[in-house]
Amino acid sequence: MFDLRYHVASLAAVFLALIIGILVGVGISDRGLVDKGKSKLLEDQVASLQRRLDATAQQSTSRTRERMAAQSFISEAYPALVRNRLRGKKIAVVFVGPVDGGVRTAVKKALADSGAEQLRLRALKVPIDVRQLDATLNGEPAGKGLRGKRHVDALGRALGQELMLGGSTPLWDSVTDALVQEQAGGTRAPADGVVVVRTVTPQRGATSRFLVGLYSALASSGGPAVGVEPSDSADSATKVFTQTGLSTVDDVDTPVGRLATVLLLAGAPPGHYGVKDSASDGTLPPLGVPGG
């Protein structure tokens, strides 16, 4: 996504190159190799570029102020904008890796502010231990065809489906000790939507394939599925979330990000929102009309 800052940086780089060119040119002209006309041309180019750089910097500052003003307005209006949008909805939350307290608080606040309930939370141990998972599934009818490294993607998909549908969950019952490091909430009620958070570095091998299967199942469950992260995330997961069909919010730690999360869970058009380059659809989904 185009950012005016990059345009300013590009102009600055060209400006620096021309300055260096003039200095080198002047040095050579002292030895009689460049005439004064060429030196004057370079100086005129620098002056022109300096004017463009100044104008662009002013425009960038103006747009930054406008963006900050808009974010400030949304922060002030946030309670009214989210009220009752998710009233009565039951949302599952999945952490890939340990629970991050800050993100957990942000997600819980978004749900509470909009009238939703956190139905269940699962924090997964990664990387996965395929042998341990196979041992827990040995002899379980639900695990047929899901054991071994070749089938970890299918196992991820099956677990994602169970997580959203609720009811009888023989796979989760079997693998909880091997796969889950923290959990809250029961398994019976179906989820109306899901929020996914990755708190570990990108995974490889069998774990990566398992997670792709899990994310894909959550994204195709029929309910809204949103991958979120804080604005200062060191290892962004938005790329893999996007590739597997999840909507994304890259600034869930801010009021604007929480609003975007609520709007997506309420049925706004799927997309990728926030403040980073990954936010290809802008800062917020369409607001629509609040529920209730």
Residue 22 lies in a domain: yes
Query: Given a cut of 60, is residue 25 above it in pLDDT?
Result: no
How many other C-beta atoms lie within 10 A of the C-beta of residue 75? 14
Domain that holds residue 49: 4-80
pLDDT for 4 equals 42
Q: Is the pLDDT of residue 226 over 80?
A: yes
Q: Are residues 105 and 37 in the same domain?
A: no
Higher pLDDT, 205 or 64: 205
Q: Does the pLDDT of residue 62 top 90, yes or no?
A: no
Average pLDDT over residues 110-116: 98
- Dihedral sign computed on CA atoms, order 127, 142, 175, 182: positive
Give yes or no for residue 71 having a pLDDT over 80: no
- Checking if the pLDDT of 135 tops 50, the result is yes
- My answer on whether 264 and 207 are in the same domain is yes
Same domain, 65 and 124: no
Is the pTM higher than 0.75? The answer reads yes
Between 26 and 175, residue with greater pLDDT? 175
pLDDT tops 50 at residue 7: no
Which of 37, 55, 80 delimits the end of a domain?
Answer: 80
Q: Assess whether pLDDT exceeds 90 at residue 174.
A: yes
For 252, residues 6+ apart whose C-beta sits below 8 A from its C-beta are 103, 106, 107, 110, 228, 229, 230, 258, 260, 261
pLDDT tens digits, one per residue of 262-289: 999 999 999 999 989 889 998 899 887 5
pLDDT of residue 27: 47
Q: What is the β-pairing status of strands 247-249 and 117-124?
A: unpaired
Average model confidence (pLDDT) across the chain: 85
Residue 86 above 50 pLDDT? yes
Domain identity same for 102 and 19:
no
pLDDT greater than 70 at residue 65: no
CATH code of the domain covering residue 139: 3.40.50.2300
149 and 205 in a single domain? The answer is yes
Indicate if the pLDDT at residue 2 is higher than 70.
no
Is the separation of the CB atoms in 291 and 266 below 8 Å?
yes
